[in-house]
Homo-oligomer: A and B are copies of this chain.
């Protein structure tokens, strides 16, 4: 507590000093040119981003793109935040199964629920796509959208990642936060286009990335409008898939939700390949990027053989077409934002 108070006082003093200095020394060119991507090491990946943004934003240049067409799309899992050892939304669903188990005693003998409760990964994997859908149906349906959002909010505030022991929303990539901010400062509108559930992502996208709900495109389930006897309207989530925003579904989602072709797209897996191809087929100058997870020490290393976030065909296409491939280990100075000091 004391150290917190002290740091607040220090920060206050520092701010005051900076304010006084800025009065004495108004922003100079060197300030304006300070590095907008400080967590990126110098190299071809950073260079390709900065050079692209310079080209499309300079009025009068042949590659200039008017602001309303500066649409940037980002995959979420593995591109803006981590996705190992399992997609974070699945970690949420499994935690929900555990907390719902007391009122569902039959789950003790019913797959895939038994596997979740026993922590039996092998059995869970064996339940396949059907098992996954059963878990989603049990945890993402039969309640109002408001009730679901409250559940996700509560989970995000408390659940911790098994390896990093940090909140899931703290496992966003610092270099990508800087990139999002850099693009917005250059007149881009930033969107998430992810296979994840759109309602799940909207619970944290604004806080974590500065991306408002209406700029999040994702998979969705069927919801049903209901008007209560009290005149209050609700949307009830049903156990039925409405739209899968993955693979070829990503350009479809971009067309349906955004209605403009992006000029900047970033992904990290084969599920992003068609989104990059769709972006690459536009008339304006385009940027296509992939995050390649090469850093087992600070994060994870995986690509062609991974069950989650498999990066194989898209990596080949990126290589052959000269798309930007971020080598996480070499290109990123830091992975996650600095951990806040927690008072003891």
Contact = CB atoms under 8 A, between A and B. Distances in A.
Nearest to A227: B277
A189 B68 CA distance: 15
A164 interface: no
Contact of A213 (B215, B225, B258): B258
Contact of A214 (B224, B227, B260, B278): B260
A200 to B, nearest CB: 11
B233 A277 contact: yes
Contacts of A337: none
Contact of A220 (B214, B215, B231, B256): B256
A257 B214 contact: yes
A8 interface: yes
A223 B251 CA distance: 9
Contacts of A280: 231, 233
A251 B225 contact: yes
A137 to B, nearest CB: 18
A243 B224 CA distance: 13
A131 interface: no
Contacts of A212: 68, 260
A85 B230 CA distance: 38
A126 interface: no
Interface in A48-80: 66, 68, 71
B202 A281 contact: no
B235 A252 contact: yes
A225 B202 contact: no
Interface in A277-301: 277-278, 280-281
A216 B257 CA distance: 8
Given A8-B66, A225-B251, A274-B225, A214 B189 contact: yes
Of A68, A214, A235, A281, most B-chain CB atoms within 10 Å: A214
A205 to B, nearest CB: 9
A144 to B, nearest CB: 11
B281 A223 contact: no
Nearest to A249: B225
A145 interface: yes
Contact of A259 (B189, B202, B256): B202
A198 interface: yes
A199 B259 contact: yes
Given A198-B259, A232-B281, A225 B252 contact: yes
A187 interface: no
Given A71-B214, A216-B259, A233-B281, 20 more contacts: A191-B214, A199-B259, A212-B260, A213-B259, A213-B260, A214-B214, A214-B259, A224-B248, A224-B252, A225-B252, A225-B274, A225-B278, A227-B277, A231-B281, A233-B277, A233-B278, A233-B280, A235-B252, A235-B255, A242-B256
A-B pairs with the 6 shortest C-beta distances? Answer: A213-B259, A225-B248, A233-B281, A233-B277, A202-B259, A233-B278
